[in-house]
Amino acid sequence: MTITDLVRQRGANLRIFDMGRRIQPLDTALFEEIEQQRRSYPVPYLKHAWLALLSWHPEQAGQHAIWFLKLPLDEQNLLDAPARDGFVRYVAQRQASGDSTTDKGEAPFSFKPDGHRMAYFHALAARELGAPVSRFYGTTRGYLSGDIGWENWQQLGLQGLAEVVAGYQQDNNQALLTRALPYLPRVPLNVVLGFMENISPGQALTSAVNDRLASVIAGEPDANDLAAFARALSHSENIEQRRLLVQALLAHPKSRSVEVLAAVSSRCWADLEGELLLAFLRTLAVNEQGQNAFAALVADMMTLPGMRQRMLAAFSSGQHSPQLDQAITRLLGIVRGQTQ
C-alpha cells in the first residue's frame, strides 16, 4: 500500500509539498508515479525526498494531519520503497488503534523543519485549507509599507513575513516587497530573501533585489548576506538577471565561503551551465574548506536533473584553472578508489 492509497481509503484529501531545495507543491499524480517507482524524484536534496504531507477530510472541518518525511532515494533518485512502507505501516497501526494524533517525532523517517521553513509551510497549508492569515500578517504589511518605521522590525513575526511572501500574488504584496527592499535592515531583509527562494519573483521585484545586492556589495557583507541573495532570485522569471546575480556573487571575495557556494549550487543550479558553471567550479576549487567541500557539493549537484551531463562536459572542457585541475584529479582518484 502506498501513502496515496492510505489517504484515499480514508476518504481524505491529500496535498504534497517538496520541502527540499525550496518549498513547493508536488503534483499528486506525479507523486503517485514516484511512489510506484515509475518516476524518479524530480529535485532530490542530499539523496532524499524531503516531503510535507497535508491531509484532511472534507466533512471534518478543522481536522487535518501533517507529516514531514525524509525518505531515502537510490542512485537513480527512485524512492526507497521499504522506507515508505515503514511509514505506511506506522500510520495504519495508529489509525487501527484509534490514535489520531500526529506526533511527528515518532514516525519513521520523520524530520522537523527549522523555524523559517515551518513558518513558510504553514502559510501555504493555511491557504490550502482556507484558514485565515495570522495576526502578524496585517502588522507585517504595515511595516513593509513604511508606516511604522524601518527600525521597528523586532515586533514582526516570522509567520507574517512568510505569509506576505507566500501570498506575493495577492493583496499587491509583490509591489509592497519591491518598494520596501531598498530600506529593509539586514535582519528582516535576509528573512525576506530566504523566503523568496520559494517563489518566482517578477521583473520589478527581481530588479529591486539586484539593486539592493549592488548596495550590499558596496559595504562589507558577510557570507550569509550574499547567500541570501543567491536564494532569493533562484527562481526569478528573468533568467538573464538570475545569471548576472550569480556572476556578481562569484566575483566577490566572499564567494570562496562554502555558505555562498552551497547556496548557488543547491538553489541556482538550473543556471549553472557553460561558462557560468566553469566559473562556479573554479571558485569551488579554492573554497575555504578545501577538497571535502568540493567533493560534497559536486556529488550533490550530480544528482540533479541534467547536471551530470553538464558537470562531465565541464570536467573535460580543458578550460580549467590549475586549482580546478587539481581538485578534479583528486576527486576522480577518490571515486576510482571506491569502485575498486
- Mapped onto helix, strand or coil, the DSSP state of residue 2 is coil
The total of other beta-carbon atoms located within 10 Å of residue 157's CB is: 15
pLDDT at 155 over 80: yes
Residue type, 137: Y
Which of the residue ranges 3-12, 304-313, 330-339 would you say has the lowest mean pLDDT? 330-339
Whether the predicted pLDDT of 288 surpasses 70: yes
User: Could you tell me which residues come within 8 angstroms of residue 327 by beta carbon, excluding any fewer than 6 positions away?
Assistant: 284, 285, 291, 294
H/E stretch holding 136: helix 136-144
Pairing of strands 24-26, 13-18: antiparallel
From the number of C-beta atoms within 10 Å of its C-beta (0-12, 13-18, 19+), residue 29 rates as exposed
Task: Kindly write down the DSSP assignment for every residue of 193-230, as one continuous string.
Answer: HHHGGGS---HHHHHHHHHHHHHHHHS---HHHHHHHH
Q: What is the pLDDT of residue 4?
A: 92
Beta strands in 36-127 (DSSP E): 48-56, 64-72
Residue whose cell numbers read 504534497: 16
In the sheet where 13-18 sits, what is the strand order? 24-26, 13-18, 48-56, 64-72
270-291 mean pLDDT: 96
For the beta carbon of residue 21, count every other beta carbon within 10 angstroms: 21
Length reported for the chain: 340
**Does this model's pTM top 0.85?**
yes
Q: How far is 10 from 240, CA to CA, in rounded Å?
A: 47
- pLDDT tens digits, 223-280: 999 999 999 999 999 999 999 999 999 999 999 999 999 999 999 999 999 999 999 9
Give the confidence band of 107 by pLDDT, cuts at 50, 70, 90.
Answer: confident
Tell me the average pLDDT of the chain.
Answer: 93
Determine the Cα–Cα distance for residues 236 and 200; give it in Å rounded to an integer. 5
Label residue 103 by pLDDT band (50, 70, 90): very low
> 203-240 burial string, b = 16+ CB within 10 Å, else e?
eebbbbbbebbeebbeeebebebbbbbbbbbbbbebee
Dist. CA 215–CA 221, nearest whole Å: 10
CA 267 to chain centre: 7
The Cα–Cα gap between 155 and 170 comes to 23
Q: Are 154 and 143 in contact (CB under 8 A)?
A: no
**What's the CA gap between 69 and 40, in Å, rounded?**
17
pLDDT of residue 106 exceeding 90, the answer is: no
pLDDT at 105: 47
Tell me how far apart the alpha carbons of residues 152 and 84 are, in angstroms, rounded to a whole number: 46
Q: What does the alpha-carbon distance between residue 274 and residue 255 come to, in Å, rounded to a whole number?
A: 19
Rounded Cα distance, 334 and 292, in Å: 11
